[in-house]
Each structure stands twice: as C-alpha cells, then as structure tokens.
C-alpha cells in the first residue's frame, strides 16, 4: 500500500516563487509516488486572520487555482478543505492535553511569527491568542488525521514537524501504538531569497514575485532588484554572487546562467541587458503556469468539484482513522 503524503498551505495570498521552489516543486514529484492529500488550511489561516474571513474565503479558491496551475493533477492529489473535516478539530482537542504551554512558547516558528505580527499580537506577544499559540497542535492533527507519513515542507516548518512527532510519541506511549511519526521532505532549494536580497521571499516583506504577476509587474520588480552595488558602468566587472538578478537567473534561466556569471565577471554584460534577459526568462517560465490558470479561472465549477471530491476522500480517510483512535482513547461509546 502506498504511504500518505500530507501537506498544507494557508489560504492567505497567492503563491510566489518562494513557495514554488521552496516546497511546491517537490509536490509534483511526490504526487506520482504517494497517496497525496493537500490541505487548504483555512482554519489555520483564521488563527491570525480571525477578523478577516472574506480574505481567507477568497484565497481558498486563489490558492487552489495556483496549485492546479503549476501542474498538480487532481486525479493524483486530493485537495481538501481543513474546515470541512471536523475530525481534525476533534483531534486538536485531544492532543492539546499532551502539549505544555511552555513547549508551544518555545517553538521557533511560532516565536518568529509572533514577532512578525506585532499588529495583532502586541509588541511582546502579550496579546497572543490561545488559538494561534496552539496552531502547532492543530497542525499535528492535520497530519495525523490523514495518516500523513511524508510531509513536504519548506525549512521554516521543521519545528512544527518536530513538535508533531513529539505529540505522536506521547500519544502512542499513553494510549498505545497507533499513530505514525511523520517525516519531512525538503526541496533542493529550501528557501528563496527576495528581490531585495532578504534571506526569505515573503508576502509581508514585499519582495516576492507571484505566479500570477503580469508582465508589467514582473518588469518593474526585476528592474528594481538589487545588483552588485560596486558596478557603476556597464562594462565594470562585477560579482554575480551578490546580485539578485544572477540569483534568479540560476532559478529560471538555468541553461544560460553559467554564461551570465562569466560575462558579468568579465565586464561583458550590462545590468540593464541582464535584467531584460531575466524578465524574458521569467515570463517564459511562468507562461505555461499562466495558461493553465486561465483555464481554471474560466472553469471555476471544475475547481469547486476538485475541492468537493478531494474533501470527500479526505473525510473518508479521517473517519476511518478516527474510529481506531477513539477506541485507543476509550471514548468509543456505543450508546
Ligand atoms: N503551517 C503551514 C504554512 O504556514 C501550513 C500547514 C497547515 C501545513 N497544515 C499543515 C504544512 C500540515 C504541513 C502539514 O505554510
Ligand atoms: Fe547582476 Fe547581471 Fe549586473 Fe552582473 S551584469 S551585476 S549578474 S545584473
């Protein structure tokens, strides 16, 4: 029997190249090898968007279309909505007994996020909600409710996986061996730098290229990207390794990037021409993705059906699994 892959995304915005190279590219391979459940984590998205339900709802469809447009095959992948699987919420409650508040407060991913979200959680995290602090518990429920054994994620998610494994071990030691410890799989590129040279591409950092960006937006963004600051004149030799334009050539213009590197070092390449070449390569790279997306935008009923069918399959898996879990916990009453 094939193992289950489980991964999730928060529907809070469109996919950018950081998602694509950091995690999604891996999904394309895994969909051929495993039983793949892809969760649109709308409940998790609400933990820091509780006051903006319209945004989450809209992005459920946006992100599903983005994922379909990169080539995920709905015949191989079950796309499902977290909110429609109550077993996940149930499991979250059960697991919450197995986790200390102190352990959650120490989770590096949670700590980073609290610091990034001062507007909602306060300068020192003093307004942190119970729900947000506990989302690693809910994420452990996502994974284990669907019997996920393989979890493709970006490296920012590793502390959450570690916490999930701890919960699994504790559960099994108390109630009996039933849950499987999930393993992460990382992409070759685990983190994509932003156009501004920041270590991470992110929506909140304003340094991202989105799969849905149009030609004008991409041109503007790439023309403003950070290059070697010591290169003043067109034929100054420069260091491509500190240039974001070269960095992106390596991602989307692989065949020519050696040449870009060489010419840049020799002073045989102007930055404007170099950026123009990257813009073209980027547009070529995004072209098939955009075409697929256009199809789904025009066939939104098909997108809904994909979510409906995937959710039905996920529900079946979770119901079956939950029966056994409740037995172990001795809450399988037959009244
Ligand atoms: N926390 C993940 C993110 O922010 C999304 C997510 C939700 C997830 N549930 C998951 C990832 C389960 C892996 C497994 O991107
Ligand atoms: Fe960067 Fe290209 Fe300019 Fe070199 S020539 S510094 S790689 S933009």
Q: What pLDDT is stored for residue 57 in this prediction? A: 98
Distance 43 CA to ligand 2 centre (A): 43
Per-residue model confidence as pLDDT tens digits over 218-228: 999 999 999 99
Predicted pLDDT of residue 204:
78
Residue among 260, 262, 276 to mutate when testing ligand 2 (max atoms within 8 A of CB): 260
Question: Could you tell me if 36 and 25 are in contact, meaning their C-beta atoms sit under 8 angstroms apart?
Answer: no
Range of lowest pLDDT (6-15, 180-189, 199-208, 311-320) = 199-208
Residue nearest to atom 8 of ligand 2 (CA): 271
The mean pLDDT of 313-326, rounded to a whole number, is 98
Q: Average pLDDT, stretch 107-112?
A: 94
Q: Which pLDDT value is given to residue 19? A: 94
* Ligand 2 centroid, distance to 244 Cα (angstroms): 8
User: Is the distance from the beta carbon of residue 243 to the nearest atom of ligand 2 less than 6 Å?
Assistant: yes
| pLDDT exceeds cutoff 80 at 123 | yes
Ligand 1 pocket by Cβ (under 6 Å): 6-10, 39, 41, 44, 139, 142-143, 151, 153, 157
What is the rounded average pLDDT of the residues 122-150? 96
Q: Is the pLDDT of residue 171 over 90?
A: yes
**pLDDT at residue 267 is higher than 90:** yes
pLDDT tens-place string over residues 67-103: 999 999 999 999 999 999 999 999 999 999 999 999 9
What number does the ligand 1 atom closest to the CA of 148 have? 14
Interval between CA 199 and ligand 2 midpoint (Å): 19
pLDDT tens sequence across 240-255: 999 999 999 999 999 9
325 pLDDT above the threshold of 90: yes
Q: Which ligand is nearest to the CA of 9?
A: 1
Amino acid 203: pLDDT: 82
- Asked if the 4-193+300-329 domain carries CATH number 3.40.190.10, the reply is no
Residue whose pair of structure tokens reads 């570690």 in the numeric block: 162
Average pLDDT over residues 146-164: 95
Residue 264 pLDDT exceeds 80: yes
Q: Which has the higher per-residue pLDDT, 187 or 247?
A: 247
Domain ranges of the chain: 4-193+300-329, 215-293
Q: Is the CB of 257 under 6 A from ligand 2?
A: no
The backbone torsions φ and ψ at residue 40, rounded to the nearest 5 degrees and listed phi first, read -90, 105
Q: What is the C-alpha to C-alpha distance for residues 82 and 35, in angstroms, rounded to an integer?
A: 17
Q: Give the ligand 2 atom nearest the CA of 275.
A: 8
Q: Which two tokens stand for residue 304?
A: 């809904």
Alpha-helix residue ranges (DSSP H) falling in 230-270: 244-252, 254-266
- CA of 228, closest atom in ligand 2: 6
Q: Tell me, using a 6 A CB cutoff, whether residue 240 lines ligand 2.
A: yes
Mean pLDDT over 18-37 rounds to 95
Q: What percent of the chain stands above pLDDT 90?
A: 92
Closest among 285, 260, 288, 18 to 156, alpha carbons compared:
18
The whole-angstrom distance between residue 124's C-alpha and the CA centroid of its chain comes to: 26
For residue 246, which atom of ligand 2 is closest to its CA?
A: 7
Closest protein CA for atom 14 of ligand 1: 7
Q: Other C-beta atoms within 10 Å of 210: how many?
A: 20
**pLDDT-based confidence at 206, cuts 50/70/90?**
confident
| SS (HEC) of 277-310 | HHHHHHHHHHHHHHHHHHHHHHCHHHHHHHHHHH
pLDDT > 80? residue 190: no
Tell me which fold the domain 215-293 belongs to.
Answer: Tyrosyl-Transfer RNA Synthetase (1.10.240)
Report, as an integer, the average pLDDT of 10-32: 95
Q: Is residue 14 lining ligand 2, measured as CB closer than 6 Å?
A: no
Query: Are the CB atoms for 12 and 44 separated by under 8 Å?
Result: no
Position 262 pLDDT exceeds 90: yes
From the CB of 228, is ligand 2 less than 6 Å away? yes
Q: Lay out the sheet containing 35-40: strands in order across.
A: 77-81, 35-40, 4-9, 148-152, 183-185
Ligand nearest to the CA of 238: 2
pLDDT at position 155 is: 87
Residue 142 contacts residue 41 (beta carbons within 8 Å): yes
């Amino acid at each position: 029997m094939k193992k289950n892959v489980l991964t999730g995304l928060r529907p809070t915005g469109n996919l950018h190249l950081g998602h694509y190279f950091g995690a999604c590219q891996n999904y394309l391979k895994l969909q051929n090898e495993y039983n793949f459940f892809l969760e649109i984590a709308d409940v998790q998205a609400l933990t820091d968007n509780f006051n903006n339900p319209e945004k989450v709802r809209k992005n459920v469809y946006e992100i599903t279309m983005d994922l379909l447009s990169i080539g995920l095959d709905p015949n191989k992948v079950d796309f499902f909505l977290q909110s429609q699987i109550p077993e996940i919420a149930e499991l979250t409650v059960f697991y919450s007994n197995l986790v200390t508040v102190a352990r959650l407060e120490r989770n590096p991913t949670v700590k980073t996020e609290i610091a990034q979200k001062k507007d909602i959680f306060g300068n020192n995290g003093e307004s942190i909600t119970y729900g947000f602090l506990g989302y690693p518990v809910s994420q452990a429920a996502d994974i284990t409710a669907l019997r996920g054994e393989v979890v493709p994620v970006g490296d920012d998610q590793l502390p959450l996986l570690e916490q999930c494994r701890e919960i699994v071990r504790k559960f099994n030691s108390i109630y009996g061996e039933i849950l499987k410890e999930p393993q992460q799989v990382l992409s070759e590129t685990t983190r994509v730098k932003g156009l501004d040279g920041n270590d991470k591409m992110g929506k909140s950092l304003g340094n991202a290229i989105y799969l849905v960006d149009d030609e004008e937006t991409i041109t503007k963004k790439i023309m403003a990207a950070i290059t070697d600051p010591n290169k003043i004149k067109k034929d100054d030799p420069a260091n491509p390794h500190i240039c974001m334009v070269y960095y992106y050539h390596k991602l989307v213009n692989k065949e020519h990037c050696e040449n870009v590197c060489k010419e840049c070092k020799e002073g045989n390449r102007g930055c404007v021409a170099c950026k123009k070449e990257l813009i073209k390569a980027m547009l070529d790279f995004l072209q098939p993705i955009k075409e697929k997306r256009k199809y789904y935008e025009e066939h939104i009923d098909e997108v809904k059906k994909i979510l409906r069918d995937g959710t039905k399959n996920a529900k079946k898996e979770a119901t079956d699994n939950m029966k056994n879990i409740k037995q172990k916990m001795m809450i399988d009453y037959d009244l």
